[in-house]
Amino acid sequence: MVLYRVTPGDVCLQTLACLTEGRSYSAEGVAETDIEGEIMPHALFRSEMADNPTFRAEVLSAIARRFADFEQLVEDVALTGFDARLARVLLRLAKDDEITATHDNLAAETASGRAFVSRRLGEFARRGLVEVMRGHLRLLDRDGLEKIATEDR
């Protein structure tokens, strides 16, 4: 399951735990685009947190934003119907109404199984909302998907 994406200014909670506690990274991070980054040793991180108020404020703000994202994720999974979750993911991932993702990718994004995603995408296609192709999808009715995405809110 995809828990979150890290963008500039965001924090990866697993990385934060490793920096704070000085332990090894045990999760999987996947770069979806070219990235630039810096490796910060545990001792430097601890020093910056203690001595640099600007750095500390930025890290704490990023943590607060990440926890708000988690609250939304838990709410979506626990309280939102699957079609609304799927519609939200499709709208979020679409670039010019095209989505490059497999059914497995969409299952990870929606905290579901591949077979269920495939069945619901088939229904979305029958309703004229999407066109399903191998390895990608095309949004055909963005307004219809937006309506589904907001039904459980």
Write down the pLDDT at residue 132: 94
Same domain, residue pair 67 and 110: no
Most confident of 4-8, 21-25, 68-72: 21-25
**11 or 118, higher pLDDT:** 118
The dihedral over CA atoms of 40, 46, 48, 49, expressed in degrees to the nearest 10, equals 120
> Which domain, by its residues, includes 98?
82-150
Average pLDDT for 12-39: 83
The pLDDT-based confidence of 144 (bands split at 50, 70, 90) is very high
Same domain, residue pair 73 and 90: no
Same domain, residue pair 66 and 90: no
45-65: pLDDT as tens digits? 999 999 999 999 999 998 998
105-117: pLDDT as tens digits? 899 888 888 899 9
Is the per-residue pLDDT at 153 higher than 60? Answer: no
Q: What rounded mean pLDDT belongs to the chain?
A: 87
Same domain, residue pair 86 and 133: yes
Q: What CATH number should be reported for the domain holding residue 131?
A: 1.10.10.10
Q: Does 132 reside within a domain?
A: yes
Distance CA 106, CA 127 (A): 19
Is the per-residue pLDDT at 151 higher than 70? Answer: yes
The 8 Å CB, 24+ separation contacts for 93-98 are 94/139, 94/142, 97/138, 97/139, 97/140, 97/142, 98/136, 98/137, 98/138, 98/139
